Amino acid sequence: MITVTKKDLVKLGYGNSFAADIIKKAKQLMIQKGHIYYKSKKLDRVPVEAVEEILGINLAESHNED
């Protein structure tokens, strides 16, 4: 499973607060899907698929276009 952190999103060009919001929403999404592991406050990694679902884009494709 490929994961993403806030730092990864910032490297892709997202702002600090927006990247943090994306991670937070991705954690909430994973919890809704039954992965209670993501309730941990210290966990800062989320699956790339969750981020892609929230943003509605494919991160691998958008990163390769640069």
Q: What is the pLDDT of residues 9-45, one digit of tens each?
A: 999 999 999 999 999 999 999 999 999 999 999 999 9
The two three-digit tokens of residue 19, written as one number: 């990247």
Sketch the domain layout of the chain as residue ranges.
3-64
Mean pLDDT of 32-61: 91
Strand partners, 46: 4
Predicted TM-score (pTM) of this structure:
0.85
Q: What is the pLDDT of residue 33?
A: 95
Q: Is 66 a residue whose pLDDT tops 50?
A: no
- What is the dihedral sign for C-alpha 11, 17, 20, 26? negative
